[in-house]
Structure 1
Amino acid sequence: MKHLPSVAVAALASLVAIPSVWAQPKVVLISLDSANPTTFAGYIQSGVFDTSSGLGLLQRLGTSSIQNLTITPSITAPGHIAIATGSRAAHNDINANTFHLVASNFSANISGFGAPIGGYAISGPAVSPEPTATPIWVTLRAAGKKVVTATWPGGDGVDVKDPTSGNLLQPSSLRTVDYTVPFGTFGGVGAQGFALGAVDFTNAGDTLTSQLVAAGYPSYSPVKAKATALETINVSGTNYTINLAAIDSTNDGVTNYDTLVFYDANLGVQPGPFTLPSTGPAYVRADGHSRRFYFEGNSNKAGSAYYASFLAPDLSTVRIARYSVNYIPRNTPVLASVDDINNNVGFWGNQPDFRIPERISSGFDSFPDTELEGMYEDQVSSFVQYQTNIALRAISQNPDADLVMVYIEQPDGSGHQFTLTDPRQATNFKDPNTIGTGQDPAKVSRYATYRQNSYTAANSAVQQIIAAVGQNSDGTPRSNVFVVSDHGMAPFHTAVNINNLLTSVGIDTTKVRAVTTGPDVNVYIKLQGREADGTVSPSDYPALQKQIFQALSAAGDPNPTFNYSLPNGKLFRTVIPRPTPANVPVGFATNQIIGQDTGDVFAILNLGYNFDGTQSPVVQRKGDVASTTPVLSQPNFYGAHGYDSKLPEMSAIFFAAGPNIRKAQLPLTRNIDVAPTILKLLGVAPAATVDGRALQGILK
Structure 2
Amino acid sequence: MSRLNSIRAIAFAQLRLLNQTLESILQFWRARLFRRFVLIVLAVFILAIFAHSTAARPILGSLKQPKVIVISIDGAMPSTVDRYLSTGVLKPDQGIGRLKRLGVSALQNITVTPSLTAPAHIAIGTGSTSVNNNINANSFHLVVSPFTQNISGFAAPIGGYSVGRDGSINNHAQTAESLWVALRNQGKKVVAATFPGADGVDITIPGIDDSPILQPASDRTVDYTVPYGTFGGVGARGFSLTATDFNSAPSSTIEQLVAAARVSYSPILQKSTPLDSFTVGGVDYNIQVAALDTTDDRKVNYDTLVFFDQDQGIQPGPFNLPSSGPAYVRASDRTSRRFYLEGNENKAGTSFYITNLAADLSQVRIARYSVNYIPRNSAVLADVDDINNNVGFWVSEADFRIPQQISPGFTNFPEIEREAVYQDQVRTFVDYQTRIALRGISQNRDADLVLTYIQQPDGAWHQFLLTDPRQPSDISDPNSIGNNQNQEKIKCYQSYLQRAYQAADTAVERIIQAVGTDRFGRPRSNVILLSDHGFETFHTAVSINNFLSSKGFDNTKVRAVSSGPAVNIYINLQGREPDGTVTPQEYVNLQQQIIQALGELVDTNPNYTHGQVTPVFAQIHGRPVPSDLNDPRFGLDTNEFIGQDYGDVFALLNVGYNFDGTQIPVVQRLGDATAENPVLSVPSFYGAHGYDSTLPSMSAILYAAGPNIRRGTIRQVRNIDIAPTINRLLRVRSAPTVQGQALNLARLPISRR
- Scaled to the shorter chain, the TM-score interval is over 0.9
Q: 1:524 to 1:288 in 2, by over 3 A?
A: same
Q: Which residue of 2 aligns with 1:7?
A: none
Q: 1:125 to 1:398 in 2, by over 3 A?
A: farther
Q: Distance in 1 between matches of 2:357 and 2:555?
A: 51
**2:689 is the counterpart of 1:648:** no
SS in 1 for 2:607: coil
Q: Distance in 2 between matches of 1:322 and 1:102?
A: 39
Deviation track 1:328-367 (CA, whole Å, cap 9, x = no partner) reads: 0000000000000000000001100001000001011110
Match of 1:263 among 302, 308, 329: 308
**2:204 is the counterpart of 1:156:** no
Q: Which residue of 1 aligns with 2:615?
A: 570
SS in 1 for 2:289: strand
**2:93 is the counterpart of 1:45:** no
Q: Which residue of 1 aligns with 2:738?
A: 690
Contact 1:22/1:399 (<8 A) preserved? no
**2:460 is the counterpart of 1:417:** no
Match of 2:270 among 225, 248, 252: 225
**By how many angstroms is 1:22 displaced?**
3.6
SS in 2 for 1:551: helix
Match of 2:125 among 76, 84, 99: 84
**By how many angstroms is 1:539 displaced?**
2.0
SS in 1 for 2:163: coil
**By how many angstroms is 1:493 displaced?**
0.6
5 Å matches for 1:105-254? 105-123=146-164, 124-165=167-208, 166-254=211-299
**2:559 is the counterpart of 1:513:** yes
Q: Which residue of 2 aligns with 1:441?
A: 487
Q: Distance in 2 between matches of 1:231 and 1:629?
A: 36
Code of the residue aligned with 1:612 in structure 2: it is D
Q: Which residue of 2 aligns with 1:313?
A: 359
Q: 1:222 to 1:375 in 2, by over 3 A?
A: same
**By how many angstroms is 1:136 displaced?**
0.6
**2:567 is the counterpart of 1:532:** no
Code of the residue aligned with 1:478 in structure 2: it is R
Contact 2:131/2:642 (<8 A) preserved? yes
Once the two structures are overlaid, the 10-residue window that deviates more, 531-540 or 238-247, is 531-540
Question: What TM-score, normalized by structure 1, do the two folds share?
Answer: 0.96
SS in 2 for 1:153: coil
**By how many angstroms is 1:506 displaced?**
3.0
Query: In the comparison of the two structures, how many residue pairs are matched?
Result: 685
Match of 1:34 among 50, 75, 79: 75
Match of 1:657 among 705, 714, 736: 705
Q: Distance in 2 between matches of 1:697 and 1:281?
A: 50
Q: Which residue of 1 aligns with 2:594?
A: 548
Structure 2: which 5+ runs fail to align?
1-55, 749-753
Q: Which residue of 2 aligns with 1:12?
A: none
Contact 1:26/1:402 (<8 A) preserved? yes
5 Å matches for 1:281-320? 281-286=326-331, 287-320=333-366
**By how many angstroms is 1:698 displaced?**
4.5
Q: Distance in 2 between matches of 1:267 and 1:600?
A: 54
Contact 2:618/2:653 (<8 A) preserved? yes
Q: Which residue of 1 aligns with 2:657?
A: 609
Q: Distance in 1 between matches of 2:513 and 2:73?
A: 17
Structure 1: which 5+ runs fail to align?
1-14
**By how many angstroms is 1:500 displaced?**
1.7
Code of the residue aligned with 2:657 in structure 1: it is Y
Contact 1:126/1:168 (<8 A) preserved? no
- Detail structure 1 runs of 4+ shifted over 6 Å in the superposition: 15-19
Q: Distance in 2 between matches of 1:168 and 1:73?
A: 27
Contact 2:104/2:745 (<8 A) preserved? no
SS in 2 for 1:292: strand
Q: Distance in 2 between matches of 1:231 and 1:62?
A: 52
**By how many angstroms is 1:108 displaced?**
0.8
**By how many angstroms is 1:229 displaced?**
1.1
Contact 1:290/1:308 (<8 A) preserved? yes
5 Å matches for 1:612-651? 612-651=660-699
Superposed CA RMSD: 1.5
Q: Distance in 2 between matches of 1:582 and 1:477?
A: 58
**By how many angstroms is 1:210 displaced?**
2.5
Contact 1:125/1:169 (<8 A) preserved? no
Deviation track 1:441-484 (CA, whole Å, cap 9, x = no partner) reads: 12111111111111100011101001111110101111110011
Q: Which residue of 2 aligns with 1:5?
A: none
Q: Distance in 2 between matches of 1:193 and 1:361?
A: 8
Deviation track 1:567-617 (CA, whole Å, cap 9, x = no partner) reads: x62111111111224486321111122100001111100111000000111
Question: What TM-score, normalized by structure 2, do the two folds share?
Answer: 0.89
Contact 2:662/2:681 (<8 A) preserved? yes
Contact 2:605/2:611 (<8 A) preserved? no
Deviation track 1:514-551 (CA, whole Å, cap 9, x = no partner) reads: 10000000011111111111111112222211111111
**2:552 is the counterpart of 1:502:** no
Q: Which residue of 1 aligns with 2:369?
A: 323
Once the two structures are overlaid, the 10-residue window that deviates more, 47-56 or 399-408, is 47-56
Q: Which residue of 2 aligns with 1:10?
A: none
Code of the residue aligned with 1:588 in structure 2: it is L
Q: Which residue of 1 aligns with 2:433?
A: 387
Q: 1:238 to 1:658 in 2, by over 3 A?
A: same
**By how many angstroms is 1:125 displaced?**
4.8
**2:469 is the counterpart of 1:469:** no
Q: Which residue of 1 aligns with 2:605?
A: 559
**By how many angstroms is 1:160 displaced?**
0.5
Q: 1:127 to 1:272 in 2, by over 3 A?
A: farther
Code of the residue aligned with 1:375 in structure 2: it is V
**By how many angstroms is 1:373 displaced?**
0.2
**2:95 is the counterpart of 1:59:** no
SS in 2 for 1:696: coil
Q: Distance in 1 between matches of 2:100 and 2:145?
A: 46
Contact 2:248/2:267 (<8 A) preserved? yes
Deviation track 1:99-136 (CA, whole Å, cap 9, x = no partner) reads: 00001111110000000000012244534222100001
**By how many angstroms is 1:19 displaced?**
6.5
**By how many angstroms is 1:18 displaced?**
9.7
SS in 2 for 1:319: strand
Match of 1:363 among 386, 391, 409: 409
Q: Which residue of 2 aligns with 1:338?
A: 384
Q: Distance in 2 between matches of 1:73 and 1:565?
A: 29
Contact 1:63/1:665 (<8 A) preserved? yes
Deviation track 1:626-671 (CA, whole Å, cap 9, x = no partner) reads: 0012110001111100011011111000011111111111111100
Q: Distance in 2 between matches of 1:510 and 1:297?
A: 43
Q: Distance in 1 between matches of 2:228 and 2:147?
A: 28
Q: Which residue of 2 aligns with 1:678?
A: 726
**By how many angstroms is 1:175 displaced?**
0.5
Code of the residue aligned with 1:43 in structure 2: it is Y
Q: 1:189 to 1:697 in 2, by over 3 A?
A: closer
**By how many angstroms is 1:505 displaced?**
2.7
User: How much identity, in percent, do the aligned residues show?
Assistant: 59
SS in 2 for 1:540: helix
Larger Rg: 2
**By how many angstroms is 1:288 displaced?**
1.6
Q: Distance in 2 between matches of 1:453 and 1:698?
A: 33
**By how many angstroms is 1:699 displaced?**
4.1
Code of the residue aligned with 2:307 in structure 1: it is F
